[in-house]
Amino acid sequence: MVRVVVVGGGVNGVGSALAIQRRHPQCQVKVVAKSFTPHTTGDGAAGLWEPYLSANTPDDKVIQWSRDTFNLYSDWYRDGEGKARGVSLVHGTGLHNIQQPTPAWHTIPIGYINLSSEQRALYGPQYKSGHRFTTYTAEPSKFLPDAAGGGEDARGSPGGAQHLFPGGGGGRCRPFDQLQRPGSA
């Protein structure tokens, strides 16, 4: 059996662990972290769905992961679970003072358009490119507790992710300070 360890109990760690478990239910997935919800940075913030490319991440992976996340938020929103899970639709504009190419992921959000020079001029002459689209915001403080339920963090406080991975994987979250190296007692 393949075993996967995800480091971090916040939205990125738990989200990554959930994605791995959904895609590969035969894997055993464990999350290790200094703290779990409600004691993570994500519990006090909301995120705006818009992919951010790291220097060496292939576009096809960014598109795949971005589409998966966007579709998950869309499903929650369409099924009436958006409010309870902290998912809302928002419309926004991004402006850049240097020319930016159209991103590879532009087909994923709702109504993506590149702004014309006339549209950018409404915001000031310094903007050389810009875009507009409708996307989602997500509040981890609302969907992390539901995803993570149970367990405990490094201080023994409730809020880990013991029941995070039902089914084949049988994974369990562990406080980071309890992580043992292979072969240690």
**Dist. CA 67–CA 182, nearest whole Å:** 35
pLDDT in tens, 118-152: 999 999 999 999 999 999 988 877 766 655 544 33
Q: Is the domain of 71 the same as that of 125?
A: yes
pLDDT in tens, 141-150: 776 665 554 4
Helix (H) or strand (E) segment spanning residue 3: strand 3-9
Q: Is the domain of 2 the same as that of 36?
A: yes
CA terminus-to-terminus distance, the chain: 21
Q: DSSP string of 70-88? A: HHHHHHHHHTT-HHHHTEE
The whole-number pLDDT of residue 129 equals 96
Q: Is the domain of 132 the same as that of 104?
A: yes
Q: Is the domain of 29 the same as that of 98?
A: no
Q: Is the domain of 159 the same as that of 109?
A: no
Domain assignment of residue 31, given as a range: 1-44+143-185
Q: Is the domain of 98 the same as that of 169?
A: no
Number of domains the chain contains: 2
CB atoms within 10 A of CB 24: 14
Q: Is the domain of 33 the same as that of 66?
A: no
Coil/strand/helix, residue 37: coil
**Dist. CA 93–CA 18, nearest whole Å:** 30
CB atoms within 10 A of CB 155: 11
Between 136 and 12, the higher pLDDT residue: 136
Q: Is the domain of 64 the same as that of 5?
A: no
Q: Is the domain of 120 the same as that of 52?
A: yes
Which residues 6+ apart lie within 8 Å of 125 measured at CB? none
Q: Is the domain of 153 the same as that of 183?
A: yes
Is the pTM for the entire model greater than 0.85?
no
Q: Is the domain of 26 the same as that of 98?
A: no
Q: Is the domain of 25 the same as that of 57?
A: no
Helix (H) or strand (E) segment spanning residue 59: helix 59-78
Q: Are 103 and 94 in contact (CB under 8 A)?
A: no
Prior bond of 101 cis (ω within 30°): no
Residue written as token pair 């709702």: 110
Q: DSSP string of 109-167? A: SEEEEEPPHHHHHTT-TT--EEEEEEEEEE-HHHHHHHHH-S-B-TTS-B---TTS-TT
The whole-number pLDDT of residue 3 equals 86
